[in-house]
Amino acid sequence: MSRIIALVISFWVSNVVAGTAGLPLTVGGDSYLIELIENTALVDGASAQLGQDVGDHYYGVIASVPDSWARVSKIDGQWQGLVSVYGSLYVVAQPVEESLHTAQAASTATPAHALTEFAEEMGSCGVGGHEGEAATSLASIMGSGIAEEVAFSSFCAAQVDGICILPEIEFVFDMAFQSLYGASAAAQATALINTAEGFYRQDRAEMDGNNGMNMAFDAITVEFLSSELFSATTDASSFLRDIRSKKTNGEIPFVKNSRALLHVITGRNFDGSTAGIAFVDAICDNNGYGTGTTSVVGSIPLTAVVMAHELGHNFGSFHDGDTASSALAGMCANETHIMSSRVRNSVSGFSSCSVTQMVDAVERVASPRQCFNYPADIAISNVISPINVNVGDTFSASHMVSVVAVGFQPVNQMTLTGTSNVGAKFTNVTANGNACDISADQGYERTSYRCIVNNGGADVTINIDGTITGWDAQAVIRYVASVFTDDAVDVLLGNNRATTTMAVAGTITEAPPPIGVDALSGDDSVSSNSASSGGGGGGSLGWPWVLSLLGLLFRRVRS
């Protein structure tokens, strides 16, 4: 009988909110507190691309446990994910049949199982049999253009939140995956990406030997198929080659970058024991070899282990202990790290052999900017605004935008936007003294502004003048700061937004209909002379807010 290692989640303080929070955790009778940070960049990106709520997803550490890490998600009131404690990997899960009310009353949930329980169920990696094909393509992987090979240490000389490089990855979820999870498919898909990323986010040389790559995923695509695009085969090798063929021939319409990794997650069961398959050493390839696929195995946390393993092949790592494929890989023991051919509960990181192989693969890429981005962090601070105003008042507000940190790529340009509800109008907005564009939002005149700031390394002061309309008892202004620089990605989105609210005294009247709206018919069509300023469709946050978010996702398409 397999040994079960108890993992208990305490729910008595399970009201985690956006930003940072703590989640109590019990492992084998020992209590810990996971310090959580919301993975805002992933959540915002996936939500915008899928057009729906994707749940709450976090990363974090146990401060009292060196080299620990956690990736957890809260979906439909239940926690799930992975946590690494003293080099062992555990599954965080609340059984579906246990109600949250019962869990709260008892202060704990039913114990979950350690990953060792699933070693026999997770299947094997189907990498065997296509290394030769991948190897023959290495010359094409380098691509053409200006060679700018860079040492990995140069990428990592400057880090943002422990990240120094972001590979572009396009994630695709087939119809079978969506059928498995139904209404929660979007949340489970995001949880899968969040959890798999945890293996890469750690430092390249952790003290406990369970290493990462100082990487975060730049999920430039999160796509739910609406029809069967790929072959229906259950032969993993044939399925992978079909994906590769369609990518090479331009038959996947939503692909944004032909050199980005493409990973297809399927709800089908592959023949035999294969759980996933991927080409080896194929990053930045322009001939379709930067592809892989993972089949759902048991649960999303376990599937994340398989997906992280398959992506590791794309990044250049063979199986640990595989002397036939790589002398370097053969120097590390099998079944001790995530690139082992067989999964154990000690797979909470990469071996030093895998890290060296992946670093070497990245350094061989001729033009890394074609498939990698680099981290940045910009933040809004010093927000100043009146608290109480009267109908008809003029007001002044201001805030500062700063480049908090940058990695290998400087932030050369930022887009700074603001939207107001109908309670206020903007009369003048400047960024470091330079006038910004003012336009309509939701069809209401002068309720939106946009500033484009070049050479964004310096602090930017936004000064706002406006008037109180008297059309709402509150004047609410929302600010967003976005990185608008090729190859730079803001990895900490929790600090680049702010909201101010002014209480309005005086006679409040109903707001007139937006420009171009027929007050009698309620027709929300916008006339041609105001269409470009945004009318409807963007929700209560307004189109500038939505477009700022989309700007983070749809950067230039590369070929």
Domain extents in the chain:
7-118, 125-372, 377-553
Quick one: DSSP state of residue 341? S
What pLDDT does 103 receive?
31
Within 10 Å of residue 100's Cβ, how many Cβ atoms? Answer: 14
* Overall fold of domain 125-372: Collagenase (Catalytic Domain) (3.40.390)
Helix (H, G, I), strand (E, B) or coil at 149: coil
Identify each DSSP E strand in 321-473 by its residue range: 372-384, 388-390, 394-406, 413-420, 424-431, 434-435, 437-441, 444-454, 460-468
Instruction: Classify domain 377-553 by CATH architecture.
Output: Sandwich (2.60)
**Exposure string over 435-466, b if 16+ CB within 10 A, otherwise e:** ebebbbbbbbebbbbbbebeebeeebebbbeb
Token couple for 287: 């001939």
What pLDDT does 384 receive?
98
What pLDDT does 549 receive?
33
User: Is beta strand 88-93 parallel, antiparallel or unpaired with respect to 274-278?
Assistant: unpaired
Token couple for 265: 């997650």
Q: How far is residue 153's CA from residue 407's CA, in Å, rounded to a whole number?
A: 12
Q: Which residues pair with 376 in a beta bridge?
A: 406, 490
What pLDDT does 294 receive?
96
Token couple for 501: 């609210």
Q: What is the chain's length?
A: 559
Q: How far is residue 343's CA from residue 214's CA, in Å, rounded to a whole number?
A: 22
pTM to 2 decimal places: 0.82
Quick one: DSSP state of residue 530? T
List, for the chain, all residue ranges whose pLDDT scores fall below the cut of 50: 1-18, 95-121, 128-147, 517-559
What pLDDT does 13 receive?
31
